[in-house]
């Protein structure tokens, strides 16, 4: 352990404390409507770092431009833009699905169909421009591999391809027992580490297993009410070593990486949002000297104010959204006043032809 670096037990205890605070004092994870800023920032970071772990070279600014504006900047290979686009599509689906009730039963964290859908979303764009050279048509995005995988460098060998469907069924069944095991005193980071490593050992697809495994892990995490994990590209070597240790039965190093990732997202994004000005409240609570209730409601209805209308018709917004709206109005007013006034048309009579 490096000097001054908290022990694994300390990291786990800190995570437990912060998750308890999120649940009991702050009301849990903010919804996408409640804090679009938070989820967008996490979305950018996850798409950047998770694809970078696999060798993608787009920098964060290029990722943000691609995901937000659909523009490719930076003169990188087309394959790399498609990798990021696919990951962004899949991560966006994961966040929406995890934060909504959906059609799932309350005791189901994830299904085989969802895993396959995640893979389909993540891999379809890049497959159009750079399909896996060994893949058959039956191994396209969303479909299981029909090839055996060579042993990994550290010695782990994924199961033969005919065993993949049963292997993924087993993974889903085991992952769906996490809530019961937590209730029985299980260690959250290490249960998640077991699940993540188990998925990678099944290796259900011919390509994209790392990306799909991290996305599936975040679907599980957010459905449990916890923040998603972003494994940073700078952690790549430590992450791979931790996966190798988990292959041998020691999930502690991987659990610590996941715990630190959750704490980072809690401290950087989630807690400042739900404890601060991004909390959704009825718009009547946002009236101030500058904006009346009528003005706020009109801005919400016209789409000029970021707001959410509940099924009962009540509008909700946040102090941050109102401040952003007011600043946009001030900027618009400054632009209007800075324009040069139109000069009045001259009233001087034209000279007559006799002059």
Distance CA 190, CA 241 (A): 16
At residue 340, the pLDDT reads: 61
Summarize the confidence of residues 25-52 as an average pLDDT.
Answer: 88
Tell me the pLDDT band of 347, cut-offs 50, 70 and 90.
very low
Question: Which pLDDT belongs to residue 354?
Answer: 42
**120-124, 300-304, 350-354: which range is least confident on average?**
350-354
Provide the pLDDT confidence category of residue 229 given band limits of 50, 70 and 90: very high
Strands in 315-317's sheet, in edge-to-edge order, are 281-282, 315-317, 308-309
Identify which of 264, 223, 275 has the alpha carbon closest to the alpha carbon of residue 26: 275
How far is residue 246 from each of residues 74, 148, 198, 338, 354, measured CA to CA in Å? 37, 22, 9, 63, 103
Query: Band of the pLDDT at 76, cuts 50, 70, 90?
Result: very high
User: pLDDT confidence of 351, banded at 50, 70, 90?
Assistant: very low
- Cβ atoms of 291 and 307 within 8 Å: the answer is no
For residue 355, pLDDT beyond 60: no
Read off the pTM: 0.78
Which residues, including other chains, have CB under 8 Å from residue 44's CB and lie 6 or more apart?
Answer: 60, 63, 64, 67
Cα distance between residue 162 and residue 252, in whole Å:
31
pLDDT of residue 341: 57
Give pLDDT, residue 350: 44
pLDDT digits (tens, 9 = 90+) for 251-292: 999 999 999 999 998 888 887 777 677 777 788 878 888 999
Express each pLDDT in 186-228 by its tens digit: 999 999 999 999 999 999 999 999 999 999 999 999 999 999 9
Neighbour-count burial for 263-274, b at 16+ CB within 10 Å, e otherwise: bebbebbbbebb
How far from chain centre, in Å, is Cα 160?
Answer: 32
Number of helices (H), then strands (E), in the chain: 14, 3
In whole angstroms, what is the distance from residue 2 CA to residue 59 CA?
Answer: 29
Alpha carbons 4 and 136: distance in angstroms, whole number: 51
**Residue whose pair of structure tokens reads 């896996």 in the numeric block:** 132
Tokens of 35: 């804090």
Is residue 346 pLDDT above 70, yes or no? Answer: no
C-alpha–C-alpha distance, residues 61 and 260, integer Å: 24
Q: How many CA atoms lie within 13 A of 280 on its CB side?
A: 21
Determine the straight-line distance between the first and last CA of the chain, rounded to whole angstroms.
Answer: 100
In whole angstroms, what is the distance from residue 301 CA to residue 289 CA? Answer: 21
């Amino acid at each position: 352990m490096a000097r001054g670096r908290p022990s694994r037990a300390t990291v786990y205890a800190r995570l437990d404390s912060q998750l308890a605070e999120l649940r009991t004092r702050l009301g849990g994870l903010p919804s996408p409507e409640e804090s679009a800023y938070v989820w967008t920032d996490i979305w950018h970071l996850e798409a950047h770092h998770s694809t970078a772990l696999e060798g993608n070279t787009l920098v964060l600014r290029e990722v943000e431009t691609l995901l937000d504006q659909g523009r490719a900047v930076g003169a990188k290979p087309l394959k790399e833009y498609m990798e990021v686009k696919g990951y962004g599509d899949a991560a966006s689906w994961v966040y929406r699905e995890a934060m909504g009730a959906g059609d799932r039963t309350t005791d189901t964290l994830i299904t085989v169909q969802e895993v396959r859908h995640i893979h389909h979303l993540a891999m379809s764009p890049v497959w159009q421009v750079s399909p896996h050279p060994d893949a058959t048509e039956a191994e396209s995005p969303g479909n299981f591999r029909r090839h055996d995988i060579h042993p990994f460098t550290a010695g782990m060998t994924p199961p033969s391809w005919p065993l993949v469907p049963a292997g993924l069924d087993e993974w889903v069944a085991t992952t769906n027992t996490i809530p019961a095991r937590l209730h029985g005193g299980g260690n959250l980071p290490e249960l998640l580490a077991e699940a993540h490593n188990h998925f990678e050992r099944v290796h259900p697809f011919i390509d994209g297993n790392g990306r799909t495994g991290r996305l599936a892990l975040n679907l599980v995490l957010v459905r449990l009410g916890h923040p998603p994990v972003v494994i940073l590209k700078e952690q790549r070597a430590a992450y791979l070593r931790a996966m190798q240790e988990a292959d041998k039965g020691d999930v502690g190093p991987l659990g610590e990486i996941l715990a630190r990732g959750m704490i980072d997202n809690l401290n950087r994004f989630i807690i400042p949002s739900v404890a601060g000005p991004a909390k959704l409240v009825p718009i009547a609570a946002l009236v101030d000297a500058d904006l009346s209730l009528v003005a706020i409601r009109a801005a919400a209805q016209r789409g000029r104010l970021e707001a959410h209308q509940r099924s009962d018709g009540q509008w909700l917004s946040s102090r941050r959204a109102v401040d952003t709206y007011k600043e946009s109005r001030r900027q618009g007013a400054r632009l209007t006043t800075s324009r040069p006034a139109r000069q009045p048309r001259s009233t001087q009579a034209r000279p007559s032809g006799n002059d």
